[in-house]
Amino acid sequence: ETGVTQTPRHLVMGMTNKKSLKCEQHLGHNAMYWYKQSAKKPLELMFVYSLEERVENNSVPSRFSPECPNSSHLFLHLHTLQPEDSALYLCASSQDYRGELFFGEGSRLTVL
């Protein structure tokens, strides 16, 4: 596989469920990101990891919990979400802090 892959592509969950989104990059990049894309709003940066260390946490509610076990994998653990959290969650990677972002295809989340 090449590039950035995200699973699942689609997820429907209730407000009391716990689920996780997974991202894997095969590009040898050092940084990985979670972005949220909602209708009519710009892409919102949620978290950034550089060499497995969290370097950015953009005031994201604690019901979103990121995990970066190594430089190739990034998870977003979801717990007690709200309907307004329904969105497309995009994972991206970059070689360094100035490089271009390579995005995955996204995980479309619907919270009922």
Partner 1 sequence: TQLLEQSPQFLSIQEGENLTVYCNSSSVFSSLQWYRQEPGEGPVLLVTVVTGGEVKKLKRLTFQFGDARKDSSLHITAAQPGDTGLYLCAGARGTYKYIFGTGTRLKVLA
Residue 31 binding partner 1, by CB under 8 A: yes
Over the window 32 to 71, marking each residue x when it contacts partner 1 by CB under 8 A and - when it does not, the resulting string is: -x-x-----xxxxx--x-x----xx---------------
Among 71, 75, 79, 103, binds partner 1 (CB under 8 A): 103
Q: Residue 112: is it exposed, middle or buried by C-beta count within 10 angstroms (0-12/13-18/19+)? A: exposed
Q: By CB under 8 A, is residue 27 in contact with partner 1?
A: no
Alpha-carbon distances, residue 69 vs 8, 59, 77 (angstroms): 18, 22, 13
Kind of pairing between the strands at 53-57 and 64-70: unpaired
Q: Does 102 bind partner 1 (CB under 8 A)?
A: yes
Stretch binding partner 1 (CB under 8 A), from 14-22, 60-68, 76-84, 86-94: 86-94
Question: Do residues 81 and 89 make contact, with C-beta atoms less than 8 angstroms apart?
Answer: no
Least separation in angstroms between residue 111's CB and partner 1 is 20
